[in-house]
Structure 1
Amino acid sequence: MACSFLILYLLLSLTSGETDWPHQSFWTGNWQPPHLSLSETGETDTGYIFIGVRKSNKAGNAPTIFDNHGDLVWHGPQRENLDFKMQKLFGQDVITYWDAEPDVRVLGYGATHILDSTYKEIYTVTLRDDFRTPSGKDFDSFIDGHEHYITPQNTMLVSALNFTQTDTSHLRRGTVNMWVLDSLFYEIDIKTNKVLFKWDALSHIPISNSSIAVKGGKELHEAWDAYHINSVTSAKYGYLVNFRHIRSIFYINKDGSVRWQLSGDNNNHGDFESKNVTFAWQHDVRIHNETDESLALTLYNNAAMDNEDPGPSTGLAIHVDLVNKKAWIIYELTDPTDHIVSATQGSFQVLSSLRPAHMLVGCGSIPKLKEYDGDGNVVLRGQFGKDTFSANAYRIFKFPWSATPHWDPAVFVNHTTSYTIDLYMSWNGATGYNNWAIFSIPSRTSTLLEGRLLLVHERTGFETHVPLENIDARFIIAVARDGERILGQSSIVELGQINSVCPVIP
């Protein structure tokens, strides 16, 4: 009965008209990621594309990995998620993502999940502190969706928001006890969830520096979002912190004091002469090649707060001269064929395998990605939703991920006639196999060693379809292989009953 409902659901998914953007559907599991359309115009960097899909259909909202053909590689848990990426922890490659319980006025209060290369969750980073929430609820963890960065010291930097009352009577439209959103970041020990460092904007940066006009604040749920931290990374002498609503980047010392400020608005208290460096409402600021004399910064310059702003949104690389207190633009990445105005989210990643290095830009609220070569030319364009706020992704990355899932491959069997069988096979998350070997075995209690090889079929994308005619077997096992090396095998599949095998969905 369960199989019948699943088949009906999948058939409806495959045949119903799409009102938004095409989604993929599969027989072997209830995964429905958006179709990722990719167009190459030059040599591209290697790696898999990491997209934390949001605001897609319900079965498509998930941390998702695609290959460089746009085929699905891994579909994670179907929840609201942000900041999906690969990082290093204790010298090993891991993937991390954030998900949360929703609440009023914020993305949610949640935890950061750390998975190893078998997709087992090895750590769950949580934050407990004295927070006030707009709904009045208490949550298991108060990490917000903006930042979850593993430091070289194997700690994690996370961001958070607290609804706080403060005196803003010195500001136009301010009051003595105005509700504001205080932006905080924490450094947390990953193994123990112990807080190692805590910093909040309200105690260190005048609220008058905000680029957002004072509004609301009479009630808690109307709190004024004056600061808005959306990225934190470790630096030589402390932390580099981005403030979207101050249109500035701050270098915070390890004692919590402000070392310097680089402003995208020349009228906003910056410490550098930077007449040609302008940015606004920016995201994903990262530090590179830091010395005592200079460093480089990369960021996504939204240049837009809503759809009425002209943009364009661009990727920026900035050189910062710490000795002479000057800054200038190294790259301003735009696609001459596509004027992007992205009001929220966005990312800038320096890729690693080619020289000169390529750069990947995720366009945030616009469901697109662009890869640029070292000369600033577009070599890859990708899209996974309509421009009109359908699917989107907070950040988009490329990584050389390698994984062997701890679950078995999934198989779905469909008898199309009395002598023809359609066999569908997938292994959600696996990266290393290139073919399927189908073995006939004598009984439900038999092992692969007792099997007889029926056929070998090349892997084709995420889900491989093999039509079988007049098959002389009752029980089979599907084996995922790299050449002739076995990497994983399905459970025993019985062919004697139509649609007899329900897929295992990890």
Structure 2
Amino acid sequence: MFLVSASIFTLLSFTLPRLATSSVAYCNNQDYESGALGLSPYQTYDAAPYNPVQINYALPPRDCPANSQVSGYFFFSPLGLGTSLEMSGGLIMNPDGTLVYSTADLALVGAVMRGPMRYRGKDYLTLWVSNGAILSPSGSPLIGNGYNVLLNSSYDVVANITTSGLSVGADLHEFLITSDNTALMTAYPTTAYDLQSFNGSQDGYVLNCVVQEVDIATGKPLFTWQALDHVHPSECSTPLGTPFTGDGTADSPWDYFHTNSIQKNDDGTYLISSKHCSTLYLVDASGEIIWRMGGEKSDFTMKNGTNFTFQHHARSHGPKVISVFDDGAAGWEVDIPYPRGLLLDYDDSAMTVSLLSERLPFNRSSPSTSEGSVQMLSNGNSVVGWGSMPSYSEHDRRGDIMWSAQFAASNEVSAYRLFLQPWVGRPRTPPLMSIANSSSTENVTVYTWWNGATEVTSWQLRGSSLESPLKTITLTAVNKTDFETTLTYTGSGYAYYQVVAMNGHGQTLGFSNFTGLDGTTFGKGENQTVTAHPL
């Protein structure tokens, strides 16, 4: 079951009037920012059945909307409160705001995009998927019960990975593949617990957050850590009985700990983040806590600017350096007016934490009460996903903001995490095309797209007068500049049309089926082969 606090988001979708917009990102569009284009503007196409979020660069890069200084793609899942989103699911988007890939074709319930990860020397796209139940009862904390999937470069599902030996499946908060070809996951099983000392029932219930490492190939659990075995609820400042933490009943167990990130270090230790304890825990291979950073029982002296609360996405970066997203707020408490992305230096001899740099949002008008990520890039820059604020930005080595983009005009839309990463996708399914209803035997307009294809630089429109023998002629070719491309041909003599995806080397990547003006369709010719090198 997937339980969602109504104050955070729900994956349930309904239809409300919202204004559809163009595809390429806007640059400092005041109508977008004011909400005049709707709370969650979205893209539309002539034929492709997708409506991804529309991007607006509130702080534009120098070459907006191209943002050519950015290398790679953005991976995230817009999450909407109630009716806020036109289309939910995971997205891959270009820096210029155009769509690359939508998980909508997979028909996976509640898919949350995690981005590419490396397993056994190959890159795979990773998603979290709900077990099918999508509920949003009042008083329930944000938890998930499902599994993680690996998709190869053809977007085939090659692995399903979840927790083992627990009463629930993998939670959405963390999935990370280690260099040992294992997977780290969170889980939220319910446990009976006496809550009298917390003004609850003797026959109460808590979420006993679990950290588990699983061998991906076998599914065998290698490490299992349960919060109640190591952290007493009195260590955390989580109130019982709020809509954000649960009331301690079987239907709404108390989420006193709330694990939201895990990382395994090279020395075999684990870095665990507890949002509701406002603490990072370093845990050894036996499960014992080595130290606590932050929170009411911190083992470190937190120097100026280093205190964090209700944090997300803690990551070690070599010896003594940690990045963390400091929400500084939760549904029941606000400690800072807007979130921060922190890079911290810690000394585990002197037991002190110092601030290396901080990143601040472009829009500082509201706090972030949930979610968020800080990704450190190889050049020293960083990309921050601003949690319950629907925006993301790049920052230089000092933490200064370089540009900022938004994917909604309202905090009713958010993203759990957002990453900038390289990816090469060549779908196993063929490109798709649609002939416009206005087409005639002498004027043909064709719309084409290929969900997830990253190598396409141009499209060819081909025609054939007969189905058999099939002889195609290239009628026109155009560069690909958006998710959907329009091709037109003025002439006569062709009954059937086909599009061909080309890469930058002039090699064929894929062929669509043939489509006739009368709606007849049939597959590509036997002699039509892909000439691009296999991935």
Deviation at 1:318, TM superposition (A): 0.6
Deviation at 1:365, TM superposition (A): 1.4
Q: How does 1:299-338 map to 2 (within 5 A)?
A: 299-306=324-331, 309=334, 310-335=336-361, 338=364
- Cα displacement string for residues 64-110 of structure 1 (whole angstroms, at most 9, x for unaligned residues): 00001000000113542335211111111111010103355344311
Give the letter aligned to residue 234 of structure 1.
Answer: K
Residue in 2 that maps onto 1:261: 292
Residue in 2 that maps onto 1:489: 511
Give the letter aligned to residue 34 of structure 1.
Answer: V
- Are residues 442 and 96 of structure 1, via their aligned partners in 2, closer, same or farther at CA, if it must alter by over 3 Å? same
Using the size of structure 1 for normalisation, the TM-score is: 0.86
Give the letter aligned to residue 99 of structure 1.
Answer: V
Residue in 1 that maps onto 2:174: 147
Matches of 1:487 and 1:84 in 2, distance apart?
A: 26
Structure 2: gaps (5+ residues)? 1-14, 22-35, 63-67, 524-535
Matches of 1:28 and 1:482 in 2, distance apart?
A: 23
Residue in 2 that maps onto 1:250: 281
Secondary structure of 1:60's aligned partner: coil
Contact 1:217 1:224 in 2 (8 A): yes
In the alignment, is residue 351 of structure 1 matched against residue 382 of structure 2? no
In the alignment, is residue 473 of structure 1 matched against residue 494 of structure 2? yes
Matches of 2:417 and 2:302 in 1, distance apart?
A: 27
Deviation at 1:156, TM superposition (A): 0.5
Deviation at 1:255, TM superposition (A): 0.6
Using the size of structure 2 for normalisation, the TM-score is: 0.82
Q: How does 1:35-46 map to 2 (within 5 A)?
A: 35-38=54-57, 39-41=59-61, 44-46=69-71
Contact 1:415 1:421 in 2 (8 A): no
Q: How does 1:157-176 map to 2 (within 5 A)?
A: 157-169=184-196, 171-176=197-202
Deviation at 1:442, TM superposition (A): 3.9
Contact 1:179 1:220 in 2 (8 A): yes
Give the letter aligned to residue 145 of structure 2.
Answer: Y
Contact 1:413 1:424 in 2 (8 A): yes
In the alignment, is residue 111 of structure 1 matched against residue 132 of structure 2? no
1:272 to 280, 300, 306: 300
Give the letter aligned to residue 278 of structure 1.
Answer: N
Residue in 1 that maps onto 2:422: 400
Residue in 1 that maps onto 2:53: 34
Matches of 1:471 and 1:392 in 2, distance apart?
A: 50
Name whichever of 102-111 and 419-428 sits farther off. Answer: 102-111
Residue in 2 that maps onto 1:179: 205
Secondary structure of 1:278's aligned partner: coil
- Cα displacement string for residues 157-190 of structure 1 (whole angstroms, at most 9, x for unaligned residues): 0101111112344x34255432111111111111
Matches of 2:345 and 2:492 in 1, distance apart?
A: 66
Name whichever of 433-442 and 212-221 sits farther off. Answer: 212-221
Matches of 1:65 and 1:482 in 2, distance apart?
A: 19
Matches of 2:392 and 2:457 in 1, distance apart?
A: 27
- Are residues 89 and 414 of structure 1, via their aligned partners in 2, closer, same or farther at CA, if it must alter by over 3 Å? same
Deviation at 1:50, TM superposition (A): 0.6
- Cα displacement string for residues 20-65 of structure 1 (whole angstroms, at most 9, x for unaligned residues): 3221122443211111223533584311011112227666111100
Give the letter aligned to residue 361 of structure 2.
Answer: D
Deviation at 1:14, TM superposition (A): 5.9
Contact 2:161 2:216 in 1 (8 A): yes
- Are residues 173 and 193 of structure 1, via their aligned partners in 2, closer, same or farther at CA, if it must alter by over 3 Å? same
Contact 1:166 1:180 in 2 (8 A): yes
Name whichever of 178-187 and 65-74 sits farther off. Answer: 178-187
Contact 1:477 1:489 in 2 (8 A): yes
Contact 1:83 1:147 in 2 (8 A): no
Matches of 2:401 and 2:494 in 1, distance apart?
A: 52
Name whichever of 192-201 and 151-160 sits farther off. Answer: 192-201
Residue in 2 that maps onto 1:287: 316
Q: How many residues are matched?
A: 467
Name whichever of 60-69 and 97-106 sits farther off. Answer: 97-106
Contact 2:195 2:248 in 1 (8 A): no
Matches of 1:445 and 1:145 in 2, distance apart?
A: 51
Give the letter aligned to residue 153 of structure 2.
Answer: S
- Structure 1 vs Structure 2 CA RMSD: 2.6
Give the letter aligned to residue 247 of structure 1.
Answer: S
Deviation at 1:145, TM superposition (A): 0.9
Residue in 1 that maps onto 2:532: none
2:261 to 231, 239, 257: 231
Matches of 1:342 and 1:502 in 2, distance apart?
A: 52
Matches of 2:156 and 2:469 in 1, distance apart?
A: 28
Residue in 2 that maps onto 1:47: 72
Identity among equivalent pairs (%): 25
- Cα displacement string for residues 288-343 of structure 1 (whole angstroms, at most 9, x for unaligned residues): 113xxxx2111111111138735211101111112221111111111355444111
